[in-house]
Homo-oligomer: A and B are copies of this chain.
Amino acid sequence: MTSTLLPFDQAEYDRRLLMTRMAMALAGLDALFVSDPANMQWLTGYDAWTFNHHQGVIILQDADPMWWGRQQDTQAAMHTVWMPEGCVISYESDLVNSMDRHPIEDLARHISGLGVQNLGIEMDSQHFSAKGFSVLLQVLPDVGFADATGMVNLQRAIKSAPEIAFMRNAAAISDKVMDGVIKHADVGMAKNELVALAYRDAIQGIDDARGDYPAIPPMLSSGSNTNASLLTWSDQKLVAGEEMTFSFSGCYRRYHAPLCRTIFLGEVPDEIRRAEAVLIKSLDAGIIAATSGRKVSDVARALAGPLGHGPDRGVGYGGLIGVAYPPSVEDDVISVNADSEAVLEPNMTFHVSPSLNVLGATIKIGQSIRITDDGAAEIFGGLSQLIATK
């Protein structure tokens, strides 16, 4: 069918499929069942909010990918994937709630019909359940199974030129949203009022780049709550002299570029100013260390240096970014940690985010970056303020 909604041309999908098949061959797999929705989208274009149900894409060495999911979601598949109609296969919707049958039995029948010997499964993905695996083991006793968690995610690490263009759009949306938050934040305003404007700006997007739903909602913590960075928001009113952390990602056609700033209403205490200088130093050091050929751990150590963190803070400096669906905006397949042996390559894209505890709160900055051919990483987006004050 070749959907008119496809974000990329066929050459881009062919390249992705080739890379994935090479990784499969190296792992001795003749088939791969991809259930991570970001991986599904990257390989086939599939984009619909159906990932609360058993679904996936079957990748073989010598045939087009096959989309598999609920019968009632096949229309969404036909509207969004590049493969011909015969590659969209489905199970009856009444299997979803069946007490005595399971959707994965239907998948197993297809796998069996394809004569698969060694099947890779994303076993540690949110989108392949323990129950699903036990059904596969039971129905397909003669098939070999291998854990292929992260296999496709790793292929996605290095972005193509059109992907980078999409991420620049996402970064421009992130900048617009952050600008708006800094502009609109005011003493006495309820947090949800501020987040409401952030959502509006994010979905409106910029110029010809419409906003898509981000893989994570805005995080807006303040005061002593800033050490619990994954709280979203409340109707609490903004207070003068209290730091707040706003963490967010613009999204353009499923591509993300997260951004994080600490914002102050009123006079900034000297301790915070000093901490700001340290965070700027940390981010600068991280960006300089983020050069092609070096290890991800070098970036983590460079970020950690100025922060004076001990070994207990060797993790949590960020991760790979790109295509994402809720609930993860960063891809754990390569995290910016002090023990990561992954080697940086041009056009890998990361979110890096150092933080510091000061005056009983946590202040944090986060920036999305791209590894270049040579030298320091490129910063996505144009926001210069590291800690915004007003």
Query: Footprint of B on A, CB under 8 Å?
Result: 5, 47-52, 72-73, 75-76, 78-80, 93-94, 96-97, 102, 121, 123-134, 147, 149, 190, 192-193, 195-197, 199-205, 208, 210-213, 216-217, 219, 225, 227-235, 314-316, 326-328, 332, 335, 337, 339-340
Q: Are B199 and A192 in contact (CB under 8 A)?
A: no
A232 to B46, CA, bound (A): 12
Closest 5 CB pairs of A and B: A130-B133, A210-B235, A196-B203, A124-B131, A75-B228
**Which of B51, B129, B235 makes the CB contact (< 8 A) with A124?**
B129
Point out the residues of chain B lying under 8 angstroms from A197, CB to CB.
200
A196 to B337, CA, bound (A): 36
Q: Enumerate 24 A-B pairs (CB-CB under 8 Å) in ascending A order.
A: A50-B230, A51-B327, A52-B126, A52-B327, A52-B328, A75-B227, A76-B230, A94-B337, A94-B339, A121-B130, A131-B149, A192-B204, A192-B205, A192-B210, A193-B204, A195-B203, A196-B203, A197-B200, A199-B199, A210-B234, A212-B232, A213-B232, A326-B326, A326-B327
A331 to B315, CA, bound (A): 35
Distance to closest chain B CB from A140 (angstroms): 14
A339 to B101, CA, bound (A): 14
Contact A231/B97 with A134-B123, A196-B204 known, Cβ cut-off 8 Å: no
Q: Are A228 and B315 in contact (CB under 8 A)?
A: no
A135 to B94, CA, bound (A): 31
Q: Are A231 and B79 in contact (CB under 8 A)?
A: yes
Copy count, this protein chain: 2
Point out the residues of chain B lying under 8 angstroms from A129, CB to CB.
123-126, 128-130
Point out the residues of chain B lying under 8 angstroms from A219, CB to CB.
49
Point out the residues of chain B lying under 8 angstroms from A79, CB to CB.
225, 228, 231
Contact A97/B340 with A49-B217, A76-B231, A326-B327 known, Cβ cut-off 8 Å: yes
A193 to B201, CA, bound (A): 9
A208 to B123, CA, bound (A): 44
Q: Are A231 and B126 in contact (CB under 8 A)?
A: no
Distance to closest chain B CB from A295 (angstroms): 14
Point out the residues of chain B lying under 8 angstroms from A48, CB to CB.
228, 230-232
Point out the residues of chain B lying under 8 angstroms from A337, CB to CB.
94, 97
Point out the residues of chain B lying under 8 angstroms from A315, CB to CB.
93-94, 96-97
Point out the residues of chain B lying under 8 angstroms from A225, CB to CB.
79
Distance to closest chain B CB from A54 (angstroms): 9
Q: Are A96 and B332 in contact (CB under 8 A)?
A: yes
Point out the residues of chain B lying under 8 angstroms from A204, CB to CB.
192-193, 196
